[in-house]
Chains A and B, each alone.
Chain A
């Protein structure tokens, strides 16, 4: 494949890393082998705890104080990183390897200007102060930052997440590295920004010719960007191969399971539950013999539990650490397909809506700095149905949820009604019944659950407050709720820190359901969770909905999640509804150019990146929104002056599908791959 005389840019030889925890060495990576050739993009996939970030830290020798490379070697351009002396290590960091982290806001020093931070990277290479600043400005231009001179005077907190990540990438590329490590570079960014950053990386890799180690849990992002991919599970590389082949035909049950967990086009809550991977990833070092995946594997037999499978070649450039790699195609589904169809169809479409918003607006601050976070939003949601709310950051999704929950008061003139009765803006003035009826599941169960309370107390308190039950009745209700979120009595006395992320989110769901709600606001309910856990939570939400006819207001930036759960979809932009309609019609089209852009920004596992519509320019400030159609400054389908001056009408067709665009429906975009089978 490559010239054998040129050493690979990165090579791991049986690399093992362990962390010392309470006096015991816990293996986090065991005997990982991989190599990245010059100019190659290698994706490393794994869920949290798989050790993928440890790989990045170990090859640069920045493991935490309790971490140690306990075996093997890491070679960069043929030189053993572990054997470098202090000066050579600094040289390697300054010239050969660069890294981009997950959270750009925290990777930048909050009290130093952007210009200073970027210039620093050039100063290390020997540039004078003036020269360094000039080159920093040039580099910011290369990462497509407009007006770099102005950005250089700014502090990190004054930039958006996408801009911050561009700055971090600029700093990384300053040294023209031979190896660029990207550790979850787009996690936490909006889908459209994520697409931009991925595009940028794709372009820059050609311009700079750097090899890239791309670490991510996002299979779609990996598929779109990488040449080869390695799958990491419990500190072991379980499968490796060219990315298209591997995702199309996985040869390890774990890879196959991961791919099946993804909510993708064609899957919907009323058709079939998502597949999941049963059980939990093992604690590091807890499986001393046999295959690490055996306890969760449907193909596992006695051999798997006693003999650690070797890496077997399964095709051109492909290896798998599985005894049964030739039978992965027969892997039974963890959730029986028979369950399909047992779910009740979507809730009623006539009768009193459980939620009705009329002309809801919210303005923050006062003129001339007023920001209109919501503009005249009218929506209705029927019992037992899900309304998916999509839009980028700053689109007003959270403001809408907060207004609904009574956390902020909307502007006068709008109305909110719950089950046909007016809903007071302040939570204090709502009836106990209304509070019970309307509950929320937050994004991050860690911060939503009181750490010092046991599960029994967390759920019990909600039952007492919302359901008014005490004593034995309360205990019985706790047990019932626990069962309905698929937890067992064993977890009753546990505290949040003893639970996994998925279990915590189940507790949060149980708490929301304590008062038999009719409407639950789900604010990014799965975005803090791993793919396999996400599938289980989505199934749970779908089942609870079918059982209890509860309606969901689902806020998510993940269109896969929205597609799976939603009956209706509303698209918000700068606080304005641009499109609303039945989920399938919004997804299949004809849809608003903005919806089209959002849909094509979402990376898919098949790796198709053609036909993507790219949005150019930043989201306009809410202080001075564009005149005419709010979207015209970024719209790829702008017709002419009419878009700049006149706001399009918002009219619905016979199915209740409304689009705010001047283009006639026949000319609006449609999905190439229909969302529904």
Chain B
């Protein structure tokens, strides 16, 4: 029965690799059209043009773009992300630690928003049309439209400045334990929780309403099953399928879209790393950072596909209709 899963996964994997390759092309040549060259960026605007040319030659950045791209790709495949011009050291360690930080933040966001959003969506669907449903829907929708920088500032003012419940900075002192780290992570996580909550809750509600009115749910009720069994065994599983896909898609967003939050909270994540690299024309860092975010996107989407396939036998066993 799982026979159909293998080829399906292989196909998806191949597509993912293709996506990543396309991304690398776009990122690389996008960086090439940005004004300014690396040597100029390193030596500054007043440097002697001969020195700039010499450095470009030394860096290899005077070669034709395609050649640079190929050697860059060659490096990536062998695990070498290149040298940062700004830091004059290999890119990889920077990316690694920023990715770990970002993952911690994203994990905090999802640990809060997934149970909250799904719970609210389920509750709203079960009480469809009642005041609690309206409240959840309206609250979710209004919260979603608040930009992170607005909610971030409001949250900082309330929880860090006025109430002093949570630390202002997202960065924790070196060597802090997980609990202290978590304390620092909650405040920066909240703006994203606010944005994602309404989205997940709405999606869950829609899936629930559909599953609740489905014929198979009626069949389950008429079997004489207690309501709780009907919900847990027949409704939830079918209702949550679309939500899972949405959550996975949002994970990529949470990782790459954290630029504003990370810089507001002065958090050393991949978002602020990419932003800094773009400002400094640190191409190697910029390209590696964007590709990392892209790879994360691709991996989460692939995971979502696998989970959906496992949960939906119609996909797993190659449905007739």
Contacts and interface: CB of A to CB of B under 8 A. Distances in A.
Given A103-B215, A155-B317, A157-B314, A109 B222 contact: no
B249 interface: no
Given A109-B234, A110-B216, A157-B321, A99 B222 contact: yes
B216 A158 contact: no
Contact of B224 (A90, A103, A106): A90
A111 B311 contact: yes
A90 B218 CA distance: 13
Contacts of A107: 215-216, 218-219
Contacts of A90: 224-226
Given A109-B238, A111-B312, A93 B216 contact: no
Q: Which 5 A-B pairs have the closest CB atoms?
A: A94-B224, A93-B224, A106-B215, A155-B313, A109-B216
B224 A124 contact: yes
A303 B313 CA distance: 61
Contacts of B234: 109, 112
Contact of B233 (A92, A112, A121, A153): A112
B221 interface: yes
A62 to B, nearest CB: 6
B227 to A, nearest CB: 9
Nearest to B235: A109
A490 B113 CA distance: 54
A168 B223 CA distance: 11
A157 B222 contact: no
6 contacts: A93-B224, A95-B224, A101-B218, A111-B311, A111-B314, A121-B223
Given A101-B219, A107-B219, A112-B234, A120 B225 contact: yes
Contact of B313 (A62, A103, A157, A171): A157
A108 interface: yes
Interface string A100-131: 01010011111111000000110010000000
Contacts of B314: 110-111, 155, 157
Contacts of A155: 313-314, 317
Given A101-B215, A109-B216, A60 B222 contact: yes
Contacts of A349: none
Interface of B: 1, 129, 214-216, 218-226, 233-234, 237-238, 311-314, 317, 319-321
A357 B221 CA distance: 52
Interface string A120-160: 11001000000000000000000000000000010101100
Given A111-B237, A155-B314, A94 B223 contact: yes
The number of chain A residues touching the other chain, given as a range, is: 20 to 34
Nearest to B128: A65
Contacts of A95: 224
A113 B1 CA distance: 12
A110 B219 CA distance: 12
Contacts of B238: 109-111
B221 A93 contact: yes
Contacts of A168: 219
A60 B219 CA distance: 12
A55 interface: no
B72 to A, nearest CB: 41
Interface of A: 60, 62, 65, 90-95, 97-99, 101, 103, 106-113, 120-121, 124, 153, 155, 157-158, 168, 171, 175
B221 A62 contact: yes
Given A110-B312, A120-B225, A158 B219 contact: no
Given A99-B222, A111-B238, A121-B223, A157 B311 contact: no
Given A90-B226, A157-B320, A157-B321, A111 B313 contact: yes
Contacts of B226: 90
Given A101-B219, A109-B219, A158-B317, 6 more contacts: A99-B222, A103-B215, A106-B216, A112-B233, A155-B317, A171-B223
Nearest to B314: A157
Contacts of A108: 216, 219
A62 B218 contact: yes
A466 to B, nearest CB: 32
A171 B313 CA distance: 21
A93 B223 contact: yes
Nearest to A174: B223
A103 B129 CA distance: 28
Contacts of A109: 216, 219-220, 234, 238
A588 to B, nearest CB: 37
Nearest to A57: B218
A92 to B, nearest CB: 8
A138 B242 CA distance: 36
Nearest to A106: B215
B130 to A, nearest CB: 11
B70 to A, nearest CB: 38
B133 to A, nearest CB: 13
A108 B99 CA distance: 45
Given A106-B216, A111-B313, A158 B320 contact: yes
A171 B220 CA distance: 10
A99 B220 CA distance: 11
Nearest to B129: A65
Nearest to B219: A107
Nearest to B321: A157
A152 to B, nearest CB: 13
Contacts of A101: 215, 218-219
Nearest to B234: A109
B129 to A, nearest CB: 8
B320 A171 contact: no
Nearest to A105: B321
B216 A120 contact: no
A92 B224 CA distance: 7
Nearest to B213: A64
Contacts of A112: 233-234, 237
Contacts of A157: 313-314, 317, 319-321
Nearest to A125: B224
Contacts of B225: 90, 94, 120, 124
A90 B222 CA distance: 8
Contacts of B312: 110-111
Contacts of A103: 215
Question: Which of B215, B220, B319 has the most CB atoms of chain A within a 10 A radius of its CB?
Answer: B215
Nearest to B224: A94
Nearest to B214: A106
Contacts of B233: 112, 120
A53 B311 CA distance: 33
A608 to B, nearest CB: 34
Contacts of B129: 65
A93 B222 contact: yes
Nearest to B311: A111
A141 B164 CA distance: 70
B230 to A, nearest CB: 10
Nearest to B217: A109
Nearest to A159: B320
B211 to A, nearest CB: 10
Contacts of B313: 110-111, 113, 155, 157
B1 to A, nearest CB: 8
B213 to A, nearest CB: 8
B311 to A, nearest CB: 7
Contacts of A97: 222
A657 to B, nearest CB: 35
Contacts of B219: 101, 107-109, 168, 171
Question: Which of B218, B312, B321 has the most CB atoms of chain A within a 10 A radius of its CB?
Answer: B218
Contacts of B220: 109, 120
Contacts of B222: 60, 62, 93, 97-99
A330 B43 CA distance: 107
Contacts of A106: 214-216
A124 B227 CA distance: 13
A97 B221 CA distance: 12
A111 B313 CA distance: 6
Contacts of A92: 224
Contacts of B319: 157-158
